Chains A and B, each alone.
Chain A
Amino acid sequence: MSATDILELTASAAAAEIAAGSLSAAELFDVYQERAAADRAAGDHGLNCFTWVAETAPETVADGAGGGGNGLRPLAGVPLAVKDLFCTEGVPSQSGSRILEGYLPPYTASAVSRLSAAGASLLAKTNQDEFAMGSSNENSAYGPVRNPWDRSRVPGGSSGGSAAAVAAGLAPWALGTDTGGSIRQPAALCGIVGLKPTYGAVSRYGMIAFASSLDQAGPLTRDVSDAALLLREMVGRDERDATSLQFPHPIELPTAERLDGVTFGVPEELTVEGIEAGVLESFHAALDRARDLGAQVREVRLAHAPHALSAYYVIAPAEASSNLARFDGVRYGYRAAEPSDLLDMYTRTRHDGFGAEVRRRIMLGTYALSSGYYDAYYGRAQRVRTKISEDFRTAFAAVDFILTPTAPTVAFGLGEKTGDPLSMYLSDYCTVPMSLAGIPAISIPCGLSRGLPVGLQVAGSAFSENRLLDVAHALEGALAFDGSPARV
């Protein structure tokens, strides 16, 4: 197989070729390793997708154990790019922050170990917004990632490096995390598939924490089948994460091509105001495709969804302010030079080590949790969260899935929103409600607006991943999105 042919393969197809003996895992690894290493070497002339790239294939790939033969594992040695915030033993894991520059964890995150055990080979660590706080990847201490569809634009965030790498064919697939939209929004802006699973479906052990009641790992892939294959090997109870759950049934690979008998709900609250015209046009065209496949489309109410962003920007910073207290220059990471005493060390270490957005959120969170303000902010936000969950439960009694655009706009220009945090936060307007309710949601590409990809978000009830993937698979077939411009 030529390198060009190999790059055309989805991860599932590559795994099948390896199983059939027509491609070796080592050959596949080398094709991607060369491309990833070239992007890393190109610095700002490339896409800046990676913070680390493997020099050689893992031994299991090099000696053929991940390849053909009787010992074949489900992921068959297919290389995987992993968001920087997953701890990987002996491999830099910096969460996009200067405060963790050069940090080499003593253990590996559960999600990554499970995928490795299933036969994935660690190809690279991907660039991200610092501590996953951002919607454009411009908050990384290691420089912004560029969108492969237009280098002057952002890839979205916070899993921007993972999304851009998959879209540009620098990795077959990637692992990301989603707190308020950090898998789905970059997937939408880069024209690929991104799935945020049900909260608790995937262990958070070894993920450098942002907001623990929201953080969830998930796949960024070229198509829905790849997302299902990767998810299948990630889910499950892990005793090292007390919030993780046994998934009630095995994840299956999607097969549906029709949507007869499926009812979609379209909430006015997330599909009218604040959504740019080109995105709405693609969204409504996607609704027509759903009807063509036999689905019913009707209106639903998510009355509290417009308040989700406000609640999110209390809850997430509050949890972050607590989680990030551990970065104090004592046990790992950066320490300010020549501190005069202990307090001076803490203060200067955190001031110099954290970027502006992280400092902003720590201050917001600390304020929201402070005595006298707790009930007005954190207490109220957790009540809004209850109302949002109730809205979804009511909606799912009437419809099977909810459809919205994934993001209100296509990819915006680098620097366009950095001066106005609130306008940046609004990028997650359509994705945050599902995060607060802990329900699964997938973004699939549904068309182009001004030559840039538009994402369609499909959300289902907790643990409905199998049906969600099936429905997304049927829609994907009908939408027939052509992702090839990104790999030119």
Chain B
Amino acid sequence: MARELSAVLDHIAKIGELHLDEVEPTSHVVEVTGALRPDEPRPCLPREVALAQAPATSDDGFLVPSPQA
């Protein structure tokens, strides 16, 4: 994998050849305005639905191993 990544990084390095100091970086390709809605609480997924696909759950949450077993 290291050899493959090196080949890709060499290809990517070609953008270093361009003069781009005066160029603004792209943040959005298409102008978006007024994307925010009022910050009002709304219903969310019921807890049992949110937990249904988890590999392990406790009574009311996702169950994970201890950080320092």
Contacts and interface: CB of A to CB of B under 8 A. Distances in A.
A328 B34 CA distance: 33
Nearest to A423: B7
A335 B24 CA distance: 42
B7 A421 contact: yes
A243 B28 contact: yes
Given A314-B15, A360-B1, A104 B53 contact: yes
Contacts of B53: 103-106, 331-333
B18 A387 contact: yes
Interface string A292-334: 0000000000001001011101100000000000000111111
B47 to A, nearest CB: 11
Contact of A243 (B5, B32, B36): B32
Contacts, number: 138
Contacts of B64: 330, 342, 345
A385 B25 contact: yes
A262 B2 CA distance: 49
Nearest to B7: A422
B interface residue count range (under 10 / 10 to 19 / 20 to 34 / 35 or more): 35 or more
Interface in A359-400: 359-360, 363-364, 367-368, 376-377, 379-387, 389
B63 to A, nearest CB: 9
Interface in A425-453: 425, 436-438
Given A345-B64, A356-B1, A199 B36 contact: no
Contact of A341 (B5, B50, B68): B68
Contacts of A341: 65-69
B59 interface: no
B37 A239 contact: yes
Interface string A188-218: 0000000000111000000000000100000
Interface string B1-38: 10011011101111110101001111111101001110
Contact of A389 (B5, B29, B49): B29
B45 A106 contact: yes
Contacts of B11: 309-310, 313, 422, 425
A242 B28 CA distance: 12
A237 to B, nearest CB: 10
B65 to A, nearest CB: 5
Contact of A383 (B25, B55, B68): B25
Contacts of A37: none
A269 to B, nearest CB: 14
B8 to A, nearest CB: 6
A462 interface: yes
B30 A200 contact: yes
B5 A387 contact: no
A429 to B, nearest CB: 11
B4 A343 contact: no
B15 A335 contact: no
B7 A213 contact: no
B15 A330 contact: no
B28 A342 contact: no
A106 B25 contact: no
Given A200-B32, A360-B5, A345 B50 contact: no
A462 to B, nearest CB: 6
Given A242-B35, A245-B32, A384-B20, A307 B14 contact: yes
Contact of B65 (A345, A360, A438): A345
B12 A310 contact: yes
Nearest to A381: B15
A305 to B, nearest CB: 12
A394 B47 CA distance: 52
B26 A343 contact: no
B20 A106 contact: no
A182 B50 CA distance: 31
B18 A198 contact: no
Nearest to A213: B29
A55 B37 CA distance: 40
A339 interface: yes
B30 A198 contact: yes
A380 B65 contact: no
Contacts of B16: 376, 380
A417 to B, nearest CB: 12
Contacts of B30: 198-200, 245, 438, 462
Nearest to A375: B25
A-B interface, 6 closest residue pairs, ranked by CB to CB distance from nearest: A438-B29, A382-B25, A335-B55, A332-B53, A341-B69, A242-B35
10 contacts: A310-B12, A330-B64, A331-B54, A342-B65, A342-B66, A360-B8, A363-B5, A385-B29, A387-B23, A425-B8
Interface of A: 103-107, 198-200, 213, 239, 242-243, 245, 304, 307, 309-311, 313-314, 329-335, 339-345, 356, 359-360, 363-364, 367-368, 376-377, 379-387, 389, 420-422, 425, 436-438, 462
